[in-house]
Amino acid sequence: DAGVIQSPRHEVTEMGQEVTLRCKPISGHDYLFWYRQTMMRGLELLIYFNNNVPIDDSGMPEDRFSAKMPNASFSTLKIQPSEPRDSAVYFCASSPPFHGYGYTFGSGTRLTVV
Is 12 a binding residue for other proteins by CB under 8 A? The answer is no
Q: Which stretch binds other proteins (CB under 8 A): 14-22, 64-72, 79-87, 106-114?
A: 106-114
Give the dihedral sign, CA 39/41/42/47.
negative
Is 14 a binding residue for other proteins by CB under 8 A? The answer is no
Q: Which stretch binds other proteins (CB under 8 A): 14-22, 49-57, 62-70, 77-85?
A: 49-57
User: What is the rounded CA–CA span in Å between residue 99 and residue 111?
Assistant: 31
Is 57 a binding residue for other proteins by CB under 8 A? The answer is no
Is 5 a binding residue for other proteins by CB under 8 A? The answer is no
Residue partners of 48: CB distance under 8 A and separation at least 6: 31, 32, 33, 34, 54, 55, 56
Is 105 a binding residue for other proteins by CB under 8 A? The answer is yes
The residue among 70 and 102 lying less far from other proteins, judged by its C-beta, is 102
Peptide bond into 96 cis (omega under 30): no
Count of beta carbons in the 10 Å neighbourhood of residue 13: 17
Count of beta carbons in the 10 Å neighbourhood of residue 39: 6
Q: Which stretch binds other proteins (CB under 8 A): 11-19, 63-71, 76-84, 90-98?
A: 90-98
Site residues (CB under 8 A) for other proteins?
4, 30-31, 33, 42-43, 45, 48, 50, 55-56, 91, 93, 95-108
